[in-house]
Amino acid sequence: MTLEIGKIPPKPVIDFILVNSSAIKITEGATFDRPGIPWHNSQNEALYLMPIKVTDLIKNSPLVNAPWKMLDIGCYTAHYPEFLIANGFNNIPRYVGVDFDKAALNRAGADAREIFKASTCQECSFYERDIFKNGSFLEIPDDNNFIVCTGVINKRNFQDLKYLLDNVNLLMRKDSTSRFFINFATFNKDIPAQHNEEATYLVEGEHNSLGITCVDCLFPIRNSNEKSRSTAYDEKELEALIKLTGFQIDEKCTFRTDRGMRFGNIIYGLQVA
C-alpha cells in the first residue's frame, strides 16, 4: 500500500512507501525541526550514546566505504539515518524502517524527504510491525548489508531474542562486508554484587530464561530521579546464543554510563558466520 506523504515537492528524488499502515494519517505541512543528534531530549544516557557508539563501530568495519541497504529495526522516527547522514555517512541507496509505533512512523514519513535529502537514497519504506510476532518480517527485503537494532531489546526472554536473531539472519546479505548492530543491557554474574549496586539496580533478583541468566533492573536516568526498567543479560550466555543463531561477533563496544562495574551496555557488530 502506498500513501501520499504530505505535500510532494517538485521533482522528488526519493520514492517513499508506507507499508501496512492505513490508519496513519500524514500531516500536511509537517516541519523538520529536530537537532542533528538523535534522541536529543532523551533522559536515558544509554539511548543518547548508542548512535555515537554505532558510528564508531562503522568506522572500523567494511561498511565505512560501502553503499548501504539499511534495515532499521525499531526505527521510531528515523533518527539513525538522520544522525549518520549528519556525520558524513550518506551513501544509503535504500532505507527500510520498522516500528510498531504509528505516531513515530507518522513523524518519520513526514520528515523523510528532509532527512534523506543530503544522501544517495532512492528508496525509503516504513513497515508498521511488532518485531516479536510471527510474520513480522514478511515482505521486508532480504539483501540488507547494514541492519541496526538498538534501544529495542527490553525485558525479552530467550525465545524472543532467538526469534529476532534468526529472522535478522535471513534478512542479511551473506557476505563479509555486511553487519548487524544490536545492543543489550548486560551484567557479569562472575563479579560479586555490591550492596549499593543491588540497592540501586536490582528489582526482582536473578532468574533464568531458558538458558540465559537475567537480572531485572531499574537503571538510573540522567538528570532525573526516575529510573528505567530493563533486563540485563549475562554476557557470556548471551554471546553463546548469538553464535547459536548463526552469527559471529566481529566487534563490540562496552559502555557503562553511570552504572556499577557489574552492569553495562554492549553494542555488538555481528556478521553471518
Tell which residue, 57, 67, 113, has the closest CA to residue 89.
67
Q: At 252, which amino acid appears?
A: K
146-149 and 15-19 beta bridge pairing: unpaired
Between 36 and 254, residue with greater pLDDT: 254
pLDDT of residue 18: 39
Between 146 and 109, residue with greater pLDDT: 146
pLDDT of residue 51: 84
Question: Where would I find the beta strands (DSSP E) of 11-62?
Answer: 15-19
- Sign of the torsion angle spanned by Cα atoms 50, 51, 56, 57: positive
- The SS3 call for residue 115 is helix
> Does residue 178 register a pLDDT over 90?
yes
Measured CA to CA in angstroms, residue 234 lies from 173, 254, 263 at distances of 29, 13, 9
> Does residue 42 register a pLDDT over 60?
no
Residue tagged 533464568 (cell numbers): 208
Q: At 214, which amino acid appears?
A: C
pLDDT of residue 89: 92
Cα distance between residue 152 and residue 134, in whole Å: 17
Between 75 and 156, residue with greater pLDDT: 75
> Does residue 155 register a pLDDT over 50?
yes
Cα distance between residue 227 and residue 230, in whole Å: 10
Q: What mean pLDDT, rounded, does the chain reach? A: 76
pLDDT of residue 214: 82
Sketch out the chain's domains with CATH numbers: 15-21+36-189+234-272 (3.40.50.150)
